[in-house]
């Protein structure tokens, strides 16, 4: 093992938010130091890992030029062993799971990081979980996984170089940014990562310029607003320029035709026109405007055409070079080399309270509906208030789902009854069941939040528990993420166990791809 012990050692960066704001600021500060040092003839010694036993694997399962090359050059600068894993001829094509492949690579070096680009959304989170457990089991250093773009999800390292470029442009002042985001905001992961990345500015005003079909997905717009940004939407550059409130920093993105369905492709010419900059628009820009683009741009019909290349507007060439500095620093951080001079809030781990069961005061009497056939329950369990207030059909569905999912193939009865509010609720009476394990309880809370569990002893309700929606739903066979691009989607056979965390009342977010689901959507029954 190396002696490197920096606080970021082995940290996975699957999304921007995997680094706290202070950690992101640290990355920008170090990248600035490095750039200035090298530009003034220095060697950047403090940024070189200089360890041939530290391996940086580049695993690119989707095309890439800039991200791959800047990481390759960054790893070389750092003095790590750099391996480019050839996915075209690997055993992925023999149905090997990605976890197995990574375990194999992990076996070849003492300490390592993996830079991964994939169509599978959430792949770095899934690998971090699986290899993290494996590292613990084998008593070895935990590897770091760096997301170099996962499907339509996020592209955190592009975000770091983008924010670095914006800060540089603004003279390192982070009070406020006014940014126009335009192009394919629907498919563009670099645009999605802005929902968290722009938080580095104390104030952000974001103008989203895209026709509806290329519009920013709703949950990213919500996230931007939750993060306090002022967000305004426009359908085209013409509409935007006519608004009179034009941003001095523009971020263009390419139309990602390779990700579009047939119906959108047919309209691509019109869509492209709405977000392509024309010569006659030049006069409508505020003084000193800068254009950025993650690149590549389409050489046949770029949204930021070549007539702009030699104007002072061109920020994208310098932006792409900034990928080198920010990625050297990121490798330095996750390898444990950098970080001794970090000050501020580290990323807090999210903790989940298992507070979904609350003991309630039992009414002593047993309600007349608590019965099996015509006999009241003497001893046993009664599940009451199932889906109270919901449409009758749904209540029956939930009653049935509870029976099947908890495998309650025992004597009992169930029904739909009036509740006190003049609507309906489901009841399941189980005279032969005398206890419920923690896992069953959790499952019950997850299927029928709001229900109560009554323990009946000698014709009386001895104990009563009110179950609410758990903060996390996982470890059940009957749930799955419904995003076909998610690494945990059953169609990929990657064996990644689905997991959802609750957001607000009843929205559940996939642990891997972060797709939001309505509560009922996560269940397969
Ligand atoms: C982007 C990507 O791959 O998400 N490019 C990049 O990483 N520099 C944007 C794109 O492909 O259009």
Kindly report the CATH number assigned to the domain that includes residue 361: 3.30.70.140
Q: What band does 155 get if pLDDT is binned at 50, 70 and 90?
A: very high
Specify the 3-state DSSP secondary structure of 402. Answer: helix
**What's the whole-number mean pLDDT along residues 237-244?**
97
pLDDT greater at residue 123 or residue 471 = 123
Distance 66 CA to ligand 1 centre (A): 8
User: Furthest-apart CA pair in the chain: how many Å?
Assistant: 91
The H-assigned helical ranges of 353-510 are: 392-405, 438-447
Q: Are residues 64 and 173 in the same domain?
A: no
* Ligand 1 atom closest to 253 (CA): 12
Which tens digit of pLDDT belongs to each residue from 168-215?
999 999 999 999 999 999 999 999 999 999 999 999 999 999 999 999
Strand 230-234 to 203-209 pairing: parallel
CA angle 508, 511, 512 (to 5 degrees): 125
Q: Is 506 part of a structural domain of the chain?
A: yes
pLDDT at 356 over 90: no
Q: What band does 40 get if pLDDT is binned at 50, 70 and 90?
A: very high
* Ligand 1 atom closest to 184 (CA): 12
Kindly report the CATH number assigned to the domain that includes residue 499: 2.30.30
Q: Are residues 164 and 127 in the same domain?
A: no
**What's the whole-number mean pLDDT along residues 337-347?**
97
Show the ligand 1 pocket: residues with CB < 6 angstroms: 66-67, 149, 155, 158, 189-190, 253-254, 256, 294-295
What angle do the packed helices 156-169 and 316-334 form, to 10 degrees? Answer: 120
Q: Are residues 112 and 186 in the same domain?
A: no
Residue 352: the pLDDT is 74
Residue 94: the pLDDT is 77
The mean of the pLDDT values for the chain is 93
One-letter-per-residue 3-state SS of 215-269: CCCHHHHHHHHHCCCEEEEECCHHHHHHCCCCCCEEEECCCCHHHCCHHHHHCHH
Range from 20-34, 144-158, 334-348, 406-420 carrying the lowest mean pLDDT: 406-420
Distance 77 CA to ligand 1 centre (A): 23
Distance 141 CA to ligand 1 centre (A): 31
Which tens digit of pLDDT belongs to each residue from 448-477?
889 999 999 988 898 999 999 889 999 889
Q: Is 114 part of a structural domain of the chain?
A: yes
Q: Are residues 76 and 117 in the same domain?
A: yes
Residue 146: the pLDDT is 98
Q: Are residues 191 and 289 in the same domain?
A: yes
pLDDT at 371 over 90: no
Kindly report the CATH number assigned to the domain that includes residue 269: 3.40.50.1370
**Which residue has a Cα nearest atom 6 of ligand 1?**
294
pLDDT at 373 over 80: no
Range from 91-95, 135-139, 151-155, 197-201 carrying the lowest mean pLDDT: 91-95
Q: What band does 364 get if pLDDT is binned at 50, 70 and 90?
A: low
Contact 292, 250 (CB under 8 A): yes
Q: Tokens 């599978």, residue?
A: 120
Residue 89: the pLDDT is 67
Q: Are residues 89 and 36 in the same domain?
A: yes
How far CA 514 is from CA of 197, 213, 386, 455, 469, in Å, comes to 16, 21, 29, 38, 19
Q: Are residues 112 and 215 in the same domain?
A: no
Which tens digit of pLDDT belongs to each residue from 72-116?
999 999 999 999 887 776 767 778 899 999 999 999 988 999 999
Q: Is 7 part of a structural domain of the chain?
A: no
Which tens digit of pLDDT belongs to each residue from 272-330?
999 999 999 999 999 999 999 999 999 999 999 999 999 999 999 999 999 999 999 99
Give dist(CA 260, CA 266) in Å, integer.
10
Distance 255 CA to ligand 1 centre (A): 10
Residue 358: the pLDDT is 79
Q: Are residues 46 and 59 in the same domain?
A: yes
**Which residue has a Cα nearest atom 1 of ligand 1?**
294
Count of domains for the chain? 4
The H-assigned helical ranges of 309-427 are: 316-334, 392-405
Q: Tokens 């770095």, residue?
A: 124
Q: What band does 447 get if pLDDT is binned at 50, 70 and 90?
A: confident
Q: What band does 147 get if pLDDT is binned at 50, 70 and 90?
A: very high
Give dist(CA 449, CA 426) in Å, integer.
12
- What is the span of the domain harbouring residue 488? 472-522
Residue 442: the pLDDT is 84
Residue 360: the pLDDT is 82
Q: Is 299 part of a structural domain of the chain?
A: no
- Burial letters 500-514, b for 16+ CB under 10 A, else e: bbbbeeebbbbbbbb
Closest CA to 469 of 391, 387, 406, 389: 387
Supply 363's token pair. 């009414």
Residue ranges with strand state E in 50-197:
51-60, 80-85, 111-118, 144-150, 176-182
Q: Is 190 part of a structural domain of the chain?
A: yes
What element of type H or E holds 474?
Answer: strand 472-474
Give dist(CA 35, CA 44) in Å, integer.
9
pLDDT greater at residue 313 or residue 368 = 313
Residue 502: the pLDDT is 92
Q: Are residues 78 and 172 in the same domain?
A: no
Q: Is 348 part of a structural domain of the chain?
A: no
Residue 374: the pLDDT is 65
Of the residues 467, 490, 510, the one at which a domain ends? 467
Q: Is 310 part of a structural domain of the chain?
A: no
Residue to probe by mutation, ligand 1, list 210, 294, 322, most atoms within 8 Å of CB: 294
Q: What band does 353 get if pLDDT is binned at 50, 70 and 90?
A: confident
Q: Is 67 part of a structural domain of the chain?
A: yes
Contact 14, 156 (CB under 8 A): yes
pLDDT at 117 over 80: yes
Q: Are residues 196 and 100 in the same domain?
A: no
pLDDT over 90 percentage in the chain: 77
Residue to probe by mutation, ligand 1, list 149, 153, 159, most atoms within 8 Å of CB: 149
Q: Are residues 257 and 363 in the same domain?
A: no
Q: Are residues 270 and 185 in the same domain?
A: yes
């Amino acid at each position: 093992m190396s002696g490197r012990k920096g606080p970021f050692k082995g940290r996975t960066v699957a999304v921007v938010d995997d680094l706290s704001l202070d950690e992101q600021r640290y990355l920008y500060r170090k990248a600035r130091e490095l750039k200035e040092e090298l530009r003034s003839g220095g060697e950047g010694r403090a940024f070189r890992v200089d360890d041939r036993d530290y391996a940086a694997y580049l695993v690119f399962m989707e095309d890439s030029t800039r991200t791959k090359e800047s990481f390759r050059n960054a790893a070389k600068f750092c003095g790590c062993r750099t391996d480019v894993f050839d996915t075209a001829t690997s055993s992925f094509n023999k149905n090997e799971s990605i976890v197995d492949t990574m375990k194999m690579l992990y076996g070849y070096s003492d300490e390592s990081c993996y830079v991964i680009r994939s169509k599978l959304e959430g792949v770095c989170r899934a690998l971090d979980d699986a290899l993290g457990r494996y590292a613990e089991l084998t008593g070895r250093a935990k590897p770091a996984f760096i997301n170099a773009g996962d499907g339509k999800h996020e592209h955190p390292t592009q975000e770091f170089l983008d924010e670095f470029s914006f800060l540089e442009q603004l003279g390192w002042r982070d009070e406020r940014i006014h940014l126009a985001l335009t192009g394919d905001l629907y498919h563009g992961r670099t645009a999605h990562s802005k929902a968290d990345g722009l938080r580095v500015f104390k104030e952000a005003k974001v103008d989203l310029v895209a026709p509806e079909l290329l519009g920013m997905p709703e949950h990213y717009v919500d996230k931007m607003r939750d993060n306090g940004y002022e967000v305004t939407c426009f359908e085209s550059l013409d509409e935007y320029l006519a608004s009179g409130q034009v941003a001095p920093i523009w971020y263009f993105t390419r139309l990602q035709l390779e990700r579009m369905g047939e119906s959108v492709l047919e309209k691509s010419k019109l869509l492209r026109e709405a977000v392509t900059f024309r010569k006659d628009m030049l006069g409508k820009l505020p003084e000193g405007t800068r254009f950025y683009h993650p690149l590549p741009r389409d050489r046949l019909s770029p949204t930021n055409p070549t007539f702009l290349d030699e104007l002072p507007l061109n920020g994208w060439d310098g932006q792409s070079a900034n990928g080198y500095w920010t990625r050297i620093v990121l490798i330095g951080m996750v390898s444990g080399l950098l970080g001794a001079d970090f000050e501020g809030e580290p990323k807090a781990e999210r903790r989940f309270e298992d507070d979904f069961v609350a003991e309630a005061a039992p009414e002593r009497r047993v309600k007349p509906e608590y019965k099996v056939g015509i006999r009241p329950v003497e001893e046993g369990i009664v599940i009451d208030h199932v889906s109270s207030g919901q449409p009758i059909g749904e209540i029956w569905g939930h009653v049935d789902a509870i029976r099947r999912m908890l495998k309650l193939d025992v004597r009992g009865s169930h029904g739909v009854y009036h509740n006190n509010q003049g609507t309906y609720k489901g009841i399941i009476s189980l005279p032969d069941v005398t206890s419920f394990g923690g896992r069953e309880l959790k499952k019950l809370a997850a299927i029928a939040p709001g229900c109560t569990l009554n323990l009946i002893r000698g014709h009386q309700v001895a104990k009563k528990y009110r179950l609410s929606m758990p903060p996390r739903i996982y470890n059940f066979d009957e749930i799955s993420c419904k995003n076909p691009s998610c690494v945990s989607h059953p169609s990929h056979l990657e064996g990644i166990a689905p997991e959802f965390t609750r957001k607000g009342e009843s929205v559940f977010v996939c642990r891997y791809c972060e797709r939001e689901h309505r509560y009922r959507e996560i269940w397969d029954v």
